[in-house]
Amino acid sequence: MLPVVAIVGRPNVGKSTLFNRIVGRRAAVVDPTPGVTRDRLYAECEWNGRRFLLVDTGGISAGDKALLAASVRRQAEEAIAEAAVLIFVVDARAGLLPDDEELAGRLRRVQKPVILAANKTEGAGGPALATEFFALGLGEPVPVAAEHGQGIGDLLDLVVERLPPAADGPEPLPSKDDIRVAVVGRPNVGKSSLVNALLGYERVIVSEIPGTTRDAVDVVVERDGQRFVLVDTAGMRRKSRIKDPVEHYGVLRGLGAVERADVALLVIDAQEGVTEQDQRLAGHAHEVGCGLVVVVNKWDLLPKTPTTAKEYEEQVRARLAFAPYAAVITVSALTGLRVGKLLDLVKRVADSRRTRVPAHVLHDIVARAVVLNPPPDNRGHQLRIHYVRQAPGVPPTFVFLVNDPESVHFAYARYLENQLRAAFGFEGSPVRLLFRRRRKGTTAEK
């Protein structure tokens, strides 16, 4: 495991800005509003040949007694507990405040290396503002300006010096075999509860307040030697209902998580069914070629008859007719009902999405399909399929070389897709069929 470096501090001192600056991208949502960051957000970093996990945490405020603030504080404390090095960020412009003093006292008690970063010291007189923080008893403050990139190299030099010695041998790299899973859905359908149920402990904040999750939060779980990277995303409402810029950026990160994922878990509320927003989210997963699993959460709250499960699945598929391949599972994150089966289903969907079909088998299946149901005339043209091959990459994409691509009727393309699905499964995975004109003077195999 890589050593952990945690960024801590009171709200609105620039922790997420510093996190983004070190990571080299806008991984965390940044906004002047205090309390934007809530869950722990991780990213791998490297400096002077040393790799480590950098953790952004929510602001710790001693005076805020609200339940949500307590959850944010608990998340930050867990990051402190697992960290090898702590970066304590203070606001040089605001000066030394009681919350800084209270947190400094707690950090002195954990007996771990603490680097005091005095942020917002840009400008001619900025570095001098850092001297006030000598009073915290944590050593010399490091003047930085995270927004402008000033002092970051000096800060990272100190971080690397204080990291524990590297283990023998190379540090582990992320595996290409990891399965990335984006957990998406509307606010308050139970996404974070589901992630915690899969992990077996509270890793992300769960609250009845819609919009608790702001960032796309990555966590790793391993099952039978297979690593899954679960990305808990912010609840996604319709664009017309989004007024808060923080929520807007959270939604953008959630959509980006789907685009980078192998499988999307679309979590819906069993009592509400598939809404228009759920259709939009499923449509985005379909368009970007992501595997799709519809997770019907809160199944324990639904009155049932012997036919409830079958009828409910039929309703889901009717609402998501554009993605008939989607896998559907009913669960309860609260009681654990069928949660244990979810990762096995995700693994099957990810494997389906990566399926490679032998060329001769593919040719035989398509040839048999054409014999059983020859393509109809379309605008006076008879479609002839000369050759078919599978293109590289995901999702499964099949290129048909034909005499006239424009004569391919959508119903016949769907028939060919259904024949491929009947032969090879592709559970939960979209399948792409591309029709290209065969150029004269080339062999079919080209």
Residue among 31, 81, 34, 75 nearest 57 (CA): 75
Residue 37 near residue 17 (C-beta atoms within 8 A)? no
Question: Are residue 398 and residue 431 in the same domain, yes or no?
Answer: yes
Domain limit, last residue, from 325, 353, 381: 353
Question: What integer pLDDT is reported at residue 291 of this predicted model?
Answer: 97
Residue among 294, 70, 23, 39 nearest 185 (CA): 294
Question: What integer pLDDT is reported at residue 220 of this predicted model?
Answer: 81
Question: Are residue 11 and residue 147 in the same domain, yes or no?
Answer: yes
Domain containing residue 347? 179-353
Question: Are residue 49 and residue 111 in the same domain, yes or no?
Answer: yes
For residue 431 the two structure tokens come to 């399948």
Question: Are residue 102 and residue 203 in the same domain, yes or no?
Answer: no
| Number of domains the chain is built from | 3
Does the residue 442 lie in any domain? Answer: no
Residue segments in the chain with a per-residue pLDDT below the cut of 70 = 1, 26-40, 62-72, 167-176, 201-217, 235-253, 378-380, 440-446
Q: 7 - beta bridge partners?
A: 56, 87
Torsion of Cα atoms, 309 then 315 then 321 then 325, to 10°: -10
Does the residue 444 lie in any domain? Answer: no
Question: Are residue 311 and residue 343 in the same domain, yes or no?
Answer: yes
Longest CA pairwise span in the chain (Å): 87
Does the residue 170 lie in any domain? Answer: no
Residue among 280, 293, 352, 300 nearest 328 (CA): 293
For residue 207 the two structure tokens come to 């609250």
- What are 205-213's contacts with CB under 8 Å, separation 24+? 205/38, 205/39, 205/68, 205/71, 205/72, 205/75, 206/71, 207/67, 207/68, 207/71, 209/68, 210/235, 211/187, 211/235, 211/247, 212/38, 212/68, 213/38, 213/39, 213/250
Domain limit, last residue, from 353, 384, 400: 353
Question: Are residue 57 and residue 197 in the same domain, yes or no?
Answer: no
Does the residue 369 lie in any domain? Answer: yes
Helix ranges restricted to H, 124-231:
152-162, 191-199
Q: Where are the beta strands (DSSP E) in 242-396?
A: 263-269, 291-297, 327-330, 377-378, 381-382, 385-390
Question: What integer pLDDT is reported at residue 439 of this predicted model?
Answer: 73
CATH number at residue 122: 3.40.50.300
Does the residue 446 lie in any domain? Answer: no
Domain limit, last residue, from 311, 327, 353: 353
3-class SS of residue 393:
coil
Question: Are residue 64 and residue 147 in the same domain, yes or no?
Answer: yes
Helix ranges restricted to H, 327-426:
342-353, 359-372, 410-424
Question: What integer pLDDT is reported at residue 176 of this predicted model?
Answer: 65
> Which of left, alpha, beta for 379 (phi over 0: left; psi -120 to 50: alpha)?
left
How, if at all, do strands 263-269 and 432-437 pair? unpaired
Question: Are residue 345 and residue 368 in the same domain, yes or no?
Answer: no
Question: Are residue 345 and residue 229 in the same domain, yes or no?
Answer: yes
Question: What integer pLDDT is reported at residue 221 of this predicted model?
Answer: 86
Q: How many CA atoms lie within 13 A of 64 on its CB side?
A: 18
For residue 31 the two structure tokens come to 């906004």
CATH number at residue 369: 3.30.300.20
Residue among 391, 410, 405 nearest 437 (CA): 405
Q: How many CA atoms lie within 13 A of 254 on its CB side?
A: 28
For residue 269 the two structure tokens come to 């509320």
Task: Tell me how far apart the alpha carbons of residues 344 and 323 are, in angstroms, rounded to a whole number.
Answer: 21
Q: Where are the beta strands (DSSP E) in 132-290?
A: 142-143, 179-185, 217-223, 226-232, 263-269
Question: What integer pLDDT is reported at residue 260 of this predicted model?
Answer: 87
Question: What integer pLDDT is reported at residue 246 of this predicted model?
Answer: 40
Question: Are residue 139 and residue 185 in the same domain, yes or no?
Answer: no
> Which of left, alpha, beta for 422 (phi over 0: left; psi -120 to 50: alpha)?
alpha
Which residues lie below 8 Å from residue 258, measured CB to CB, with a gap of 6+?
182, 184, 264, 281, 284, 285, 288, 290
Question: What integer pLDDT is reported at residue 444 of this predicted model?
Answer: 46
Task: Tell me how far apart the alpha carbons of residues 213 and 188 are, in angstroms, rounded to a whole number.
Answer: 10
Question: What integer pLDDT is reported at residue 74 of this predicted model?
Answer: 74
Q: 181 - beta bridge partners?
A: 230, 263
CB atoms within 10 A of CB 73: 17
Locus of tokens 């693994």? 347
Task: Tell me how far apart the alpha carbons of residues 50 and 161 are, in angstroms, rounded to a whole number.
Answer: 10
Question: Are residue 280 and residue 383 in the same domain, yes or no?
Answer: no
Question: Are residue 341 and residue 397 in the same domain, yes or no?
Answer: no
Question: pLDDT digit string (tens) for 165-186?
Answer: 875 444 444 456 899 999 999 8
Question: What integer pLDDT is reported at residue 259 of this predicted model?
Answer: 87
Does the residue 167 lie in any domain? Answer: no
Question: pLDDT digit string (tens) for 84-138?
Answer: 999 999 999 999 999 999 999 989 998 899 999 999 999 888 899 999 999 999 9
Does the residue 344 lie in any domain? Answer: yes
Q: What is the mean pLDDT of the chain?
A: 84
Does the residue 428 lie in any domain? Answer: yes
